Every structure is written in structure tokens, then in C-alpha cells.
């Protein structure tokens, strides 16, 4: 697999080569402020002791405290967490919220752990990173295979709810946080469709059926769009006449996978990316579209709910094919925006309504979309590079170097 941090640095360089960004700014953003690697000893239910490896990367806090999720995944390593922390720095700046970028992760397959083991691991990780996080220093959140319940264990272990976002509502979470990433991506989809004059009669394929992908599937279906394919880590399903998303959710709950859904054809994740659809939404992991399969993409519009799903080579190929890509640093920023609202609510001891949260988030997302679009037109670049330029200009104004 391509190194995600190398991809992130290629994207940074590309923005720097085009816009008038100071060399010192690019140099500052070429390495994280700090990272730690920790060993977490966990007593398994069997009595055996196992050591897990965890990371927290604090990339840049020029615009506010470090902010970013914690991922539990067997392939998680320092390079991935560094890339994700860098993208968080750019993302918070794209949407103009006063936060910096961070990320964390543990190399683990959480599906192999009991609930009690998962709780011990979550608490053990927090014990190890406790000295460097806090409500005004570094505020973690959920990411791949971490949940509101995991956030509540972590907040409890740390002893301060404003240090974690994405918590359950009854533990100080925000209304709308569970749907925020998908809801924000939905606002971006509608803005892009309006700009590109794509009518509502579209077919969508969605890779990834977790917090981001499944909620996005529900929202687009409710809006009247046809979802013809979805997938998870085990593979995908396809029905050209449209899928019943609510029924797939129940099927996945019962069987553990979206596959073998009555009336739909089983397909691979690779095939899903190449389907003849109008919109392709990516909501799984990095490096899904690369130089090897970008030419086969048939969608006109790509919506990146996942972080880093395209490599820089794929960006170039898709640009030549005139495929428009709404980039991760803009498209999935609804999650961190509502995390920012959660943090504000916790600090002020307030609880906002879901309507309030969604309308504030919509305003931020739509404004960011317009700014990125204008920047892309100004410099004649793809939306990702435009997002980077806009974000780096804002960071540059706050850098203390
Ligand atoms: P999740 O754990 O809820 O779901 C992940 C989904 O991806 C699952 O359905 C899983 O089966 C699927 N998946 C894993 N490997 C796959 C593969 N190889 N092919 C296809 N599907 C695969 O995680 P999530 O929160 O939905 O995160 C998904 C992506 O969205 C990640 O890139 C994450 O960083 C990004 N993201 C999430 C949030 C958030 O608030 N949750 C915010 C911003 C960005």
C-alpha cells in the first residue's frame, strides 16, 4: 500500500508550488509538532497479557487545540496516523473553525476483542496519553471502529468530558454528531450537483457502510437519489434498480455483512469503484483509487467521506477525465465541525437542539464549499489543491515562526 503520509506531503507540495505560500510555512507543515508511541499492556479475558501499540500525533496547533479522532484498526501505523493528523489540520482550517490537527490510533482488530477487553484497551490508551491531552490542548474523537461508547470510557478515564467529542448524548455528546460527517457530505454533494448542473435523477455507489457511509446512504435515499451499490470490509452488493438501505442495515446487523442481500448481486469492493454510476461516494479507508484503477472510474462526481481515499496519481488521472472530486478535507468536515460544537457546548454547559446544530453546520459547510470552488477557479486547480491553498493561507496568518 502507498504510504499515506507521502501522499499527504505530495498534496502539500502541489498546493505550495501553485499558490504564493511562504517556504517557511511549507517547511513548518512538513512535520508534526509532536508524536508519541505507547505500549498498552492488556490482560485478556483468558488471563494472557498482550501488548498493543498506540499512537497520538499532534500536528499543528497554530489555529487552536489539536483535534482529531482515534482509530482502532489492524493496519494502523505511525505513517497513517501522521497523514490523518495532517489532514485534520488542513480540514479544520478549510471550514474555518479555531482548531488544529491531531489524530490517534491503536494497531488492533477490535472485532477480535470482547467488550471488556475493548474497554480495558480504551482506558489503557488514555492512561498512556493523558499527559498530552486536555480540553485546551488536544481533544480526541471517534474514527474507524471507535464508537460513542468508547469515547465515554475514554472521557471517564480522563475525568473531563470536554476533552473528548463524539460521546453519547447522555454523557455530554452533541445532538447531530452521529450523523454529522454524512450530513455535511450531503450538503457538499448538493452544492456540487448544483454547480455542475447534475439533475436529481442520479445513481450512487457507496464504499464503506459504517458511521459515515451508512448514514450517507440513508440521507441520499431520503433525498430521492438512487443508491445502486454499497459495500463493507467483506465486499459489496449491487442492484441497478436501487437498494433498500433500511433493509440492508437490518441485514448487516443480523449477518455482520451487507453481502448476500436478497435480490442484489454480490460484488467486490474493486468492482464497486468501477460501476457505471453518476456519483461515487468513498467512506472506507485510504488508497482506494490509485493509478491502477482510476482510468476505470465511470462516475462524474466523487464524494470523499473517507480520509485519503485517492492517491495523488489518481487525482491527476481523474482530472484528465474531467471527473470532479469533492475532497476529504472539505467533504467530511461536518464531523469535526459538530465536534467543535460539542466542545463549545461542554465548555459552556449548554445543550443545543439538532436543528440548531445542523443549521450552523450547513452554513459553515456551504461557505467553505463556495470558498474552495472560487479558489479552484482563481488558480485553475482541482478542488483538493484549492482546499489546501485556502487552508494554508489561514494557517500562515496564525503561525508563530
Ligand atoms: P466505521 O468504523 O463506522 O466504518 C468503516 C466502514 O468501512 C465499515 O463499514 C467497514 O466495514 C468498511 N470497510 C473497512 N475496510 C473496508 C474496505 N477495504 N473496503 C470497503 N469497506 C471497508 O468508520 P467511519 O467513521 O464510517 O469512517 C470511515 C471513513 O470516514 C474513514 O476514512 C474516516 O477517517 C472517515 N471519517 C469519519 C468521520 C466520523 O465522524 N466518523 C469523520 C471524518 C472522516
**Active-site annotation, residues:** 103
- Is residue 344 domain-resident? no
Assess whether the C-beta atom of 143 lies below 6 angstroms from ligand 1: yes
The neighbour count for residue 250, using CB atoms within 10 Å, is: 10
On whether the pTM is more than 0.85, the answer is yes
Assess whether the C-beta atom of 269 lies below 6 angstroms from ligand 1: yes
Do residues 134 and 240 share a domain? no
Domain boundary among 331, 357, 385: 331
Do residues 95 and 191 share a domain? no
Q: Is 70 exceeded by the pLDDT of residue 67?
A: yes
The neighbour count for residue 253, using CB atoms within 10 Å, is: 8
What mean pLDDT is reported for the chain?
Answer: 97
Assign 318 a pLDDT band (cuts: 50, 70, 90). Answer: very high
Q: Which residue has the cell 509538532?
A: 33
- Is residue 306 domain-resident? yes
Do residues 185 and 98 share a domain? no
- Is residue 296 domain-resident? yes
What pLDDT, in 10s, does the model give residues 322-363? 999 999 999 999 999 999 999 999 999 999 999 999 999 999
Do residues 195 and 278 share a domain? yes
| Average pLDDT of the segment spanning 10-25 | 94
Do residues 102 and 155 share a domain? yes
Do residues 154 and 192 share a domain? no
- Is residue 225 domain-resident? yes
| Average pLDDT of the segment spanning 20-38 | 96
Rounded to the nearest angstrom, the distance between the alpha carbon of 245 and the centre of ligand 1 is 17
Rounded CA separation 204/279 (Å)? 5
Query: What is the pLDDT, as a whole number, of residue 2?
Result: 83
Query: What is the pLDDT, as a whole number, of residue 1?
Result: 67
Taking CA atoms only, the protein residue closest to ligand 1 atom 8 is: 210
- Is residue 394 domain-resident? no
- Is residue 352 domain-resident? no
Assign 20 a pLDDT band (cuts: 50, 70, 90). Answer: confident
- Residues of the chain above pLDDT 70, percent: 100
| Average pLDDT of the segment spanning 130-153 | 97
Rounded to the nearest angstrom, the distance between the alpha carbon of 286 and the centre of ligand 1 is 10
Domain boundary among 163, 197, 229: 163
- Is residue 358 domain-resident? no
- Is residue 186 domain-resident? yes
Assess whether the C-beta atom of 72 lies below 6 angstroms from ligand 1: no
| Average pLDDT of the segment spanning 16-30 | 95
What pLDDT, in 10s, does the model give residues 260-276? 999 999 999 999 999 99
Query: What is the pLDDT, as a whole number, of residue 83?
Result: 98
Domain boundary among 308, 331, 354: 331
Do residues 216 and 136 share a domain? no
Assess whether the C-beta atom of 178 lies below 6 angstroms from ligand 1: no
Do residues 138 and 185 share a domain? no
Rounded to the nearest angstrom, the distance between the alpha carbon of 27 and the centre of ligand 1 is 31
Q: Which of 213, 236, 272 to mutate to test the pocket of ligand 1 (most atoms within 8 A of CB)?
A: 213
Q: Is 80 exceeded by the pLDDT of residue 87?
A: yes
| Average pLDDT of the segment spanning 56-85 | 98
Rounded to the nearest angstrom, the distance between the alpha carbon of 171 and the centre of ligand 1 is 23
Rounded to the nearest angstrom, the distance between the alpha carbon of 213 and the centre of ligand 1 is 7
Q: Is 80 exceeded by the pLDDT of residue 22?
A: yes
Assign 284 a pLDDT band (cuts: 50, 70, 90). Answer: very high
| Average pLDDT of the segment spanning 137-149 | 97
Do residues 150 and 237 share a domain? no
Do residues 186 and 152 share a domain? no
CATH number of the domain within which 234 lies:
3.40.50.720
Count of structural domains within the chain: 2
Query: What is the pLDDT, as a whole number, of residue 391?
Result: 98
CATH number of the domain within which 55 lies:
3.40.50.10860
Q: Is 90 exceeded by the pLDDT of residue 400?
A: no
Atom of ligand 1 nearest to the CA of 166: 40
| Average pLDDT of the segment spanning 101-119 | 98
The boundaries of the domain holding residue 317 are: 180-331
Do residues 187 and 327 share a domain? yes
| Average pLDDT of the segment spanning 41-69 | 98
Taking CA atoms only, the protein residue closest to ligand 1 atom 15 is: 233
Do residues 100 and 149 share a domain? yes
Amino acid at each position: 500500500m502507498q504510504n499515506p503520509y507521502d501522499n499527504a506531503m505530495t498534496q502539500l507540495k502541489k498546493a505550495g508550488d501553485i499558490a504564493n505560500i511562504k517556504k517557511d510555512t511549507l517547511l513548518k507543515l512538513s512535520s508534526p509538532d509532536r508524536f508519541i508511541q505507547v505500549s498498552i499492556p492488556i490482560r485478556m479475558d483468558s488471563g494472557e497479557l498482550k501488548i498493543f501499540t498506540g499512537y497520538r500525533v499532534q500536528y499543528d496547533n497554530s489555529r487552536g487545540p489539536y483535534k482529531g479522532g482515534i482509530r482502532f484498526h489492524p493496519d494502523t501505523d505511525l505513517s497513517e496516523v501522521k497523514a490523518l493528523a495532517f489532514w485534520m489540520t488542513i480540514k479544520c482550517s478549510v471550514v474555518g473553525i479555531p482548531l488544529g490537527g491531531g489524530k490517534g490510533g491503536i494497531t488492533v482488530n477490535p472485532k477480535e476483542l470482547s467488550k471488556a477487553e475493548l474497554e480495558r484497551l480504551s482506558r489503557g490508551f488514555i492512561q498512556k496519553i493523558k499527559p498530552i491531552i486536555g480540553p485546551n490542548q488536544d481533544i480526541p474523537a471517534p474514527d474507524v471502529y471507535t464508537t460513542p461508547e468508547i469515547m465515554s470510557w475514554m472521557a471517564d478515564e480522563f475525568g473531563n468530558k470536554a476533552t473528548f467529542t463524539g460521546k453519547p448524548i447522555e454523557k455530554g455528546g452533541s445532538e447531530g454528531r452521529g450523523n454529522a460527517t454524512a450530513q455535511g457530505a450531503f450538503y457538499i454533494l448538493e452544492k456540487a450537483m448544483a454547480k455542475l448542473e447534475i439533475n436529481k435523477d442520479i445513481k450512487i455507489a457507496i464504499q464503506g457502510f459504517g458511521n459515515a457511509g451508512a448514514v450517507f446512504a440513508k440521507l441520499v435515499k431520503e433525498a430521492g437519489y438512487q443508491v445502486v451499490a454499497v459495500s463493507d470490509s467483506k465486499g459489496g452488493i449491487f442492484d441497478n434498480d436501487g437498494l433498500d438501505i433500511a433493509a440492508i442495515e437490518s441485514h448487516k446487523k443480523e449477518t455482520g455483512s451487507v453481502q448476500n442481500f436478497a435480490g442484489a448481486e454480490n460484488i467486490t469492493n474493486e468492482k464497486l469503484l468501477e460501476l457505471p454510476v453518476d456519483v461515487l461516494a468513498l467512506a472506507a479507508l485510504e488508497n482506494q483509487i490509485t493509478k491502477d484503477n482510476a482510468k476505470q472510474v465511470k462516475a462524474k462526481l466523487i464524494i470523499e467521506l473517507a480520509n485519503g481515499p485517492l492517491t495523488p496519481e489518481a487525482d491527476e488521472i481523474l482530472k484528465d477525465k474531467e471527473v470532479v472530486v469533492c475532497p476529504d478535507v472539505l467533504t467530511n468536515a461536518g464531523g469535526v465541525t459538530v465536534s467543535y460544537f460539542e466542545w463549545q457546548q461542554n465548555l459552556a454547559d449548554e445543550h443545543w437542539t439538532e436543528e440548531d446544530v445542523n443549521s450552523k453546520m450547513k452554513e459553515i459547510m456551504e461557505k467553505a464549499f463556495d470558498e474552495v470552488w472560487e479558489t479552484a477557479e482563481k488558480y485553475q486547480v482541482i478542488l483538493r489543491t484549492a482546499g489546501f491553498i485556502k487552508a494554508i493561507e489561514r494557517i500562515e496568518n496564525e503561525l508563530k515562526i
